[in-house]
């Protein structure tokens, strides 16, 4: 029997108002660490450059609430974005909503940082402040952490897992931390592309930041079912989109010493993958981002339309609630369409082909636009 994970999402239309758009206006940097969805989300070819990749990321998530997923890869991989206006820090209110693809037992928390354009040059070259999440004071959280990732040699030979056929290389990408820790990012059979960013010419990638405690449990004890639990609050791609805990508050900002800092408004947001862990056949934890919304600008935008979409599994059926007519499309990780079904307003029941197993992307389309994307494991 197939077992699906529950998904919940609240998505918004992709319209953009002329000024003070609620949505990301520009992507300034995209610097992922290696990972199973790198070079896939978005799709990258060997001919791409840093400039063309940045444009693909811009197309994926700018000007919309919940666009196409962009993967940040393993720990430390990051993205820097901005708005067309300062995002105000209003008292007693959360300020930003970050869309990812977190779901029950599938959380890939990302650390969130914010910055003001203090020098007024329109660039994210000012001081950054981390938003203090629920794990900030956890004794297992490591600050000032640094990791070097190494590109596999051209003559690298894979080391298959002795019992798990889905793990094609146990020692694929080596990493080493400044504190002496070492390990590997494994490769799985669901993603056969190069996990090292194709447009980066150097053979090493260095990432720095806060490393959150591991959040994965091997539920069966034999590597067949990994559950990645959610943290309580304060992180990207940690809580399902439909929950208030997917929002963050600028008031949580702390400086490099961990001291609370008051920011009246911010102009830039940085998100990076906060955990460093490989989870067998399901791959490494990698934060995915589909959009960031200024909740205050959203309230004043009278042109937006809200669509509530919920997906859950019971036995062999997939139940999708759609507030308005829409289309459900399931893709495999090579971009092949597995199934497509029209959704009516209200409850819909679907069956997925019984032979399907692996990692898929579920998309919900309405009015010829993507309103929700989710990564799904079928096992």
Q: What is the DSSP string of 94-117?
A: --EEEE---BTTB---EEEEEE--
Provide the mean pLDDT of the chain.
86
Q: Read off the tokens for 209.
A: 């930041």
Residue 154 located in a structural domain? no
34 has pLDDT over 80: yes
SS3 244: helix
213 has pLDDT over 80: yes
318 & 233 share domain: no
- Which stretches of the chain are DSSP H helices? 50-61, 295-300
Predicted local confidence at residue 301, as pLDDT: 53
Q: How far apart are CA 379 and CA 373, in angstroms?
A: 19
Residue 11 located in a structural domain? no
Q: Which of 38-47, 142-151, 296-305 has the lowest mean pLDDT?
A: 296-305
294 & 312 share domain: no
SS3 1: coil
33 & 142 share domain: yes
Strongest mean pLDDT among 79-83, 117-121, 349-353: 79-83
Using pLDDT thresholds of 50, 70 and 90, give the confidence band for residue 346.
confident
**What tens digit of pLDDT does each residue of 123-133 get?**
999 999 999 99
- Domain boundaries, position 370: 306-378
Residue 271 located in a structural domain? yes
288 & 193 share domain: yes
What is the end-to-end Cα distance of the chain in Å, rounded? 8
**What tens digit of pLDDT does each residue of 70-114 get?**
999 999 999 999 999 999 999 889 999 999 988 877 899 999 999
Nearest C-alpha neighbor of 271 from the set 227, 234, 229, 231: 234
Q: Which of 61-65, 147-151, 263-267, 370-374 has the lowest mean pLDDT?
A: 370-374
- Domain end marker among 283, 300, 317: 300
Q: Are 292 and 268 in contact (CB under 8 A)?
A: no
Q: Which of 10-24, 93-107, 274-288 has the lowest mean pLDDT?
A: 10-24
**What tens digit of pLDDT does each residue of 163-187 get?**
888 999 999 999 999 999 999 999 9
Q: Are 376 and 4 in contact (CB under 8 A)?
A: yes
């Amino acid at each position: 029997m197939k077992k699906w994970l529950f998904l919940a999402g609240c998505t918004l239309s992709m319209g953009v108002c002329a000024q003070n758009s609620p949505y990301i206006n520009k992507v300034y940097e995209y610097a992922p660490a290696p990972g199973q969805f790198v070079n896939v989300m978005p799709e990258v070819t060997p001919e791409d450059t840093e400039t063309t990749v940045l444009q693909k990321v811009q197309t994926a998530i700018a000007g919309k609430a919940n666009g196409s997923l962009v993967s940040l890869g393993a720990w430390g991989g990051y993205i820097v974005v901005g708005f067309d206006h300062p995002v105000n820090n209003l008292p007693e209110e959360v300020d930003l909503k970050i869309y990812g693809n977190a779901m029950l037992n599938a959380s890939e928390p990302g650390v969130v940082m914010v910055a003001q354009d203090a020098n007024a040059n329109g660039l994210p070259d000012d001081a950054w402040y981390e938003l203090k999440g629920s794990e900030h004071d956890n004794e297992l959280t490591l600050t000032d952490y640094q990791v070097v990732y190494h590109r596999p040699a051209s003559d690298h030979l894979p080391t298959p897992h002795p019992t798990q056929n889905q793990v094609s290389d146990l020692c694929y990408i080596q990493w080493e931390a400044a504190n002496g820790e070492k390990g590997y990012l494994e490769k799985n059979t669901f993603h056969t592309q190069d996990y090292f960013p194709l447009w980066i010419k150097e053979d090493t990638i260095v990432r720095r930041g806060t490393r959150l405690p591991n959040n994965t449990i091997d539920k069966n004890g034999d590597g067949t079912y990994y559950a990645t639990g959610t943290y309580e609050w304060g992180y990207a791609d940690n809580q399902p989109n439909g929950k208030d805990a997917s929002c963050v508050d600028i008031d949580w900002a702390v400086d490099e010493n961990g001291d609370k800092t008051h920011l009246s408004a911010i102009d830039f947001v940085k998100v990076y993958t906060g955990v460093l862990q490989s989870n067998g056949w399901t791959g490494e934890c990698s934060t995915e981002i589909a959009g960031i919304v200024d909740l205050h600008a959203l309230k004043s935008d009278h042109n937006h339309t809200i669509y509530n979409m919920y997906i859950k599994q019971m036995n062999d059926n997939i139940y999708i609630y759609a507030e308005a007519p829409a289309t459900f499309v399931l893709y495999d990780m090579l971009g092949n369409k597995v199934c497509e079904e029209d959704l009516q307003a209200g409850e819909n029941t679907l069956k997925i082909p019984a032979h399907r197993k692996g990692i898929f992307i579920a998309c919900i389309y309405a009015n010829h636009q993507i309103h929700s994307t989710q990564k799904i494991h079928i096992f």
